[in-house]
A = this chain, B = another copy of it.
Amino acid sequence: MVPSTCQLTVLPDGQTGEVRTGATVRDALAQLGVDVIAPCGGEGTCGKCRVQATGDLAPPTREEVALFTSAQLASGLRLACQAQIQGRVEVTVPASSRPAAMRIVLEGTARDVPVAPAVTKKAVSMPPQTLAEPYARVEHLRRCGELDPHLHAGLGLLQRLPAIFDAAGGQVTAVMRDQVLLDVEPGDTSGQCLGVALDLGTTTVVASLVDLNSGRELAHAATVNQQVRFGHDVVARINATLEAGDGLARVRDAARQSLAQVVAEVVAKAGVAASDVYEAVLVGNATMLHLALGISPASLGHLPYIATVGDPVVAPAAELGLALHPAACLYALPNIAGFVGADTVGAILAAGLDEDDGRVRVLADIGTNCEIALRLGPRLLVTSTPAGPAFEGARIACGMYAAPGAIEKVRIEGQVRCRTIAGEPARGLCGSGLVDATAELLRLGIVDMTGRLVDTDELDSALPAAVSERLVARDDGNAFHLTPPGAGQPVFLSQRDVRELQLAKAAIRTGIDLLLEHAGVRPEAVDELCLAGGFGSYIDKTHAMRLGLIPTLPSDRLSYIGNGALVGARLALVSGAMRQRGNQVARQAEHLQLAHTPDFQQRFSEAMLFE
């Protein structure tokens, strides 16, 4: 049966098109290329995809009734992920429901590594051959260019080579990837040689375009992982692949489309052609890598959480739907174990934990999962704990990705002061803002040690009214408003938000403590604690310690490297030696399964408290 279609008009743009009758507004908008955000994965729980819709729509779902007042519903307010189209419809999509240009922390402390990428170019002059030099033309190229004698070409290039050599008139540029001749280009094109580093996060996908001659970043771009429509964590994604029929293909394609989209954005930003990109390096957790590669992650979804492949994987980029240079390969960094993936290998490279410098160093890479690594002399120990998506804005009432308008800093000194990303009007709270707000409320006694937002009558009477008036009672518990009453979209911290943060910080802290204990290292013996993650901006060190997210250490022992996974991918892109280091890390790291020990459960409960 051919599904019938009906007309959808999108406001304020005025775009119009035929969409499938019976689709949700979100899916119908997607058909027209209009994205709406959905941190909850389209479950109708986060309320982030609200739109104004009029026309022939199915009645509100239970989720919409729970979220909106009847007046709001009467005015046409709906959730795009819930409202079902039955005929001609007009939909207004507010800016707050559209994905914003995201700010991703990229600076990091990129290590100083000599630029010696796997992919290189060399211009070669090839004088005509004589009977005295009967070498094959590939050999002639190698001799004239003083190239690696083991450099060899694949069949596809060999079939194109006669025409290339005939047309080039003696001046060509060899494009090489280690010992593989990727392409021979007419003329001297050696000045332009690009690669792209890709971080496929569970929530966020980031690309960094790199000039392989200089190692310099030309542009970066970020987008939401389209897989969020299948759920917000890897378990939900794995379960979605188990759907009969094309479950795996659908989840895989969502990842690949996200990668393709972010690559398209980054080359457009830099004003270069995607066909000048000769290599992509991919990081992500084990589940994300398996999905992008089209390998079932099912065995990662149940005990004993086994990946199919841990080795680095090299595949033609085109097989992953990346329209780069036709001969471009994708290099996926290796995984260490089921829940310590290539993203951790990248962060370890970025933080320099692959080397023993005599110091005791800890890395905590905070995302939906938190991976923790410990460098102790020749040993490298790793573990992971499920932190949940709180730091990426999901399951937080006013949570959002680290995009313009997100509150990233909160100080309460006589009054509530917030700083937003890009200075835009506040429209939500990102990870670092969540830590700041909670730490400040804890300091002022508005949140107690158990994580409870106190009642108004428990407030310190010395608090100024400008602060105390922000504490309000809601149906689902107390909440503290970060934005002034009546000033645009209200952004607040709810009781549930604090609970989510407690779960996250307990997981992270327990992981750090148990890893140190397992290795026999006292917390004060840690010479450096390095935080990584793309949760908005630098987490305030004092606040992180006040919340007990990390052990108490002298401030100068704390460092921050931003999106370490992506920095690591960039390092592997510009340095074959770093790529080898990544392989050593994956092979040598000792993996501890802490999260499933009775000890962990006990310690986790204790760590829920704010010390």
What residues make up the interface of A, taking CB atoms closer than 8 Å to B?
129-140, 152-155, 158-159, 161-163, 165-166, 293-296, 298-299, 303-311, 313, 315, 319, 335, 337-338, 591, 593, 596
Contacts and interface: CB of A to CB of B under 8 A. Distances in A.
Contact of A315 (B140, B155, B305): B155
Contacts of A591: 134
A305 B134 contact: yes
Nearest to A139: B310
A314 to B, nearest CB: 8
Contacts of A596: 131
Nearest to A338: B134
Given A159-B294, A162-B299, A134 B308 contact: no
A183 to B, nearest CB: 15
B136 A296 contact: no
A311 B152 contact: yes
Contact of A310 (B138, B165, B295): B138
15 contacts: A130-B304, A131-B305, A131-B596, A134-B304, A134-B306, A136-B310, A137-B306, A140-B306, A154-B315, A158-B293, A158-B308, A161-B295, A162-B296, A162-B299, A165-B308
Nearest to A304: B131
A310 to B, nearest CB: 3
A134 B308 CA distance: 11
6 closest A-B pairs by CB: A136-B310, A155-B315, A134-B337, A136-B307, A162-B296, A131-B304
B159 A293 contact: yes
A207 B311 CA distance: 37
A134 to B, nearest CB: 4
A333 to B, nearest CB: 13
B308 A162 contact: yes
Given A130-B304, A133-B304, A306-B129, A313 B162 contact: no
Nearest to A591: B134
Nearest to A315: B155
A207 B557 CA distance: 70
B309 A136 contact: yes
Contacts of A155: 293-294, 313, 315, 319
A420 to B, nearest CB: 42
A310 B135 CA distance: 7
Contacts of A319: 155
B158 A306 contact: no
Nearest to A310: B136
A158 B305 CA distance: 17
Contact of A135 (B152, B165, B296, B306): B306
Contacts of A303: 131
A309 B138 contact: yes
A130 B304 CA distance: 6
Contacts of A593: 131-132, 134
Contact of A136 (B136, B162, B335): B335
Given A129-B306, A136-B311, A154-B315, 15 more contacts: A134-B305, A136-B310, A136-B337, A137-B299, A137-B308, A137-B309, A155-B294, A158-B293, A158-B295, A159-B294, A159-B295, A159-B296, A162-B299, A162-B308, A165-B299
